[in-house]
Every structure is written in C-alpha cells, then in structure tokens.
Amino acid sequence: QLQLQESGPGLVKPSETLSLTCTVSGGSISSSSYYWGWIRQPPGKGLEWIGSIYYSGSTYYNPSLKSRVTISVDTSKNQFSLKLSSVTAADTAVYYCARHREDCSGGSCDNWFDPWGQGTLVTVSS
C-alpha cells in the first residue's frame, strides 16, 4: 500500500524559505504514469495545488506561485521536495504531498491526486 509522509520545519520566519520533503513508501517514485504533487490548505480554507514533478525532473507549477516555488525529486531516496521562497503569513497552511496520476488517451490527459500524505502544518511567523 502506497504511503506518503511529509516532513520539515513547522515554523518559518517571514521572508525565509519554506522547505518540505515527502517520503514515498510502498512503491517506487519512478513509476510511469505518476507525477508527485504538493497541495496546501490554509486554516479553515480550501485546497490549492502548488505544483507537481515527474521522476525525470519535469515540473508543472501553479502560475500564481511559480516565481517562488521549486520542486525537486531524489529517486535514490524515493523522495520529492518543495521549496517556497519569500514566505509571508499568507503561506501559513497545511501542506500535503500526493501521488498525481496522469492518464493520457485520445490526445487528452486526465489528472487526479490519490493517495495523499497526512499533511504538515507550516506556520509563518517571527
């Protein structure tokens, strides 16, 4: 059974860089048809896709965050990571990692997230 686990600091100072790692167990991060994604949820609010990465290193980012986001992958450790720079209080959220399934046929692709990690709360505060 595939499992994902987020790890990283729970408190980050304003203007600094948020760094999180997601460790995948029960399956290989190098599997075809799967990207690996980050999604966040501010307290009491909805979900926002941050970005996704393929095991080859190919990435897609949410345009609203693209200038501050870097997602990387380490296949030897079965991990992928998120860096979000110049954080403010608005970046306070529960950050989830998830397997991002891409299913392409007939010239189009369908994308969804399953399963998800348990999430980790990151608070931006001095």
Partner 1 sequence: SYELTQPPSVSVSPGQTARITCSGDALPKQYAYWYQQKPGQAPVLVIYKDSERPSGIPERFSGSSSGTTVTLTISGVQAEDEADYYCQSADSSGTYPLYVFGTGTKVTVL
Contact residues: partner 1, CB under 8 A: 37, 39, 46-49, 52, 60-64, 96, 108-119
User: Which is nearer to partner 1, 2 or 17 (by Cβ)?
Assistant: 2
- Residue 57 corresponds to which tokens in the numbers above? 């290193």
Residue type (1 letter), 37: G
User: Which is nearer to partner 1, 12 or 37 (by Cβ)?
Assistant: 37
**Burial of 56: CB neighbours in 10 Å, binned 0-12, 13-18, 19+:** exposed
At its nearest, how many Å lie between partner 1 and the CB of residue 39? 8
- Look-up of token digits 């345009």: 63
User: Which is nearer to partner 1, 76 or 105 (by Cβ)?
Assistant: 105
